[in-house]
Structure 1
Amino acid sequence: MSQELYANLAIFVLSLLVGFEVMSKIPSTLQTPMMSGANAIHGVVVVGAFVIAAEANNWLFYCLAFFGAFFAAVNVAGGYTVTDRMLGMFNRPKNSQPKEDDHK
């Protein structure tokens, strides 16, 4: 195993540890805004899949690029759908009227 592989593996493990610590400290009231921001950042994965596709030179790399782009797009779209549903829970239904005693 090369020195570059060890360095990349160390960076990956450290990013996992830092990510876990950061995520465990976020209060539940901030989960929805944080999820929206994370979905936007996940768009970088789609770009990464396109970079792999641009440098592909055999069928294995083409398949990896396709599946990477597909799953990244599903992740982004699903994340926005879940965020939209979570934010919808905070809206008052359109057909409900405030009661008279609510203003007293």
Structure 2
Amino acid sequence: MSSDPQSVAEHAQTAAQALRSAADAAQNYADQMAATAHAVSGGAIDPFIFRLAIFVLAVFVGYYVVWSVTPALHTPLMSVTNAISSVIVVGALLAVGVDLVNSEGSGWAQAFGFFALILASVNIFGGFLVTERMLAMYKKKG
């Protein structure tokens, strides 16, 4: 891979476009599943409840996946978690600044954005502390 800035920028832009299309496909799939569940149940399942159920299931799956990780894989996993939290911080900052774009409903967006900013910042800081502690386990005692 070439290290000139133009090829790196093109590679990053290609990766960003691929991630955006994957996110759009996942959102479309979730919307289709919610609409299908709503239609199959005759309108008895609200799409919000369906998405909430998916979120709750994801929390449980994430909990069991994280606690079954071996200690050797913990540091790379924390690095990925910190990267995800960094993206959440960017989104939270955008939500906090929504008042500059749209005044309707911006109070709720700012409140949730600030809450997300606090939680993601705590997650990043704690992740670095835990990662440092895990790496200290592998240092030779001298």
Using the size of structure 2 for normalisation, the TM-score is: 0.51
Q: Do structure 1's residue 70 and structure 2's residue 118 form an aligned pair?
A: yes
TM-superposed deviation, 1:2: 7.5
SS in 1 for 2:140: coil
* Percent of aligned pairs with the same amino acid: 37
TM-superposed deviation, 1:15: 0.9
Taking the TM superposition and a 5 Å limit, the aligned residue runs for 1:23-42 are: 23-42=66-85
Q: Is the 8 A contact 2:96 2:113 kept in 1?
A: yes
Q: Report the RMSD for the aligned CA atoms in angstroms.
A: 2.7
TM-superposed deviation, 1:60: 4.8
Which protein is bigger by CA-based radius of gyration?
Answer: 1
Q: Are residues 4 and 55 of structure 1, via their aligned partners in 2, closer, same or farther at CA, if it must alter by over 3 Å?
A: farther
Q: Work out the number of aligned pairs and report it.
A: 94
Kindly provide the CA deviation profile for residues 3-48 of structure 1, in whole angstroms up to 9, marking residues without a partner as x: 2312221220221232133223322332232222212222122123
Q: Are residues 15 and 87 of structure 1, via their aligned partners in 2, closer, same or farther at CA, if it must alter by over 3 Å?
A: same
2: CA distance between counterparts of 1:91 and 1:44?
31
SS in 1 for 2:138: coil
Q: Paired residue for 1:14?
A: 57
Question: Which amino acid in 2 is paired with 1:52?
Answer: A
Q: Paired residue for 2:137?
A: 89
Structure 1: 5+ residue runs without aligned partners?
A: 97-104
1: CA distance between counterparts of 2:115 and 2:56?
24
Using the size of structure 1 for normalisation, the TM-score is: 0.65
2: CA distance between counterparts of 1:43 and 1:50?
11
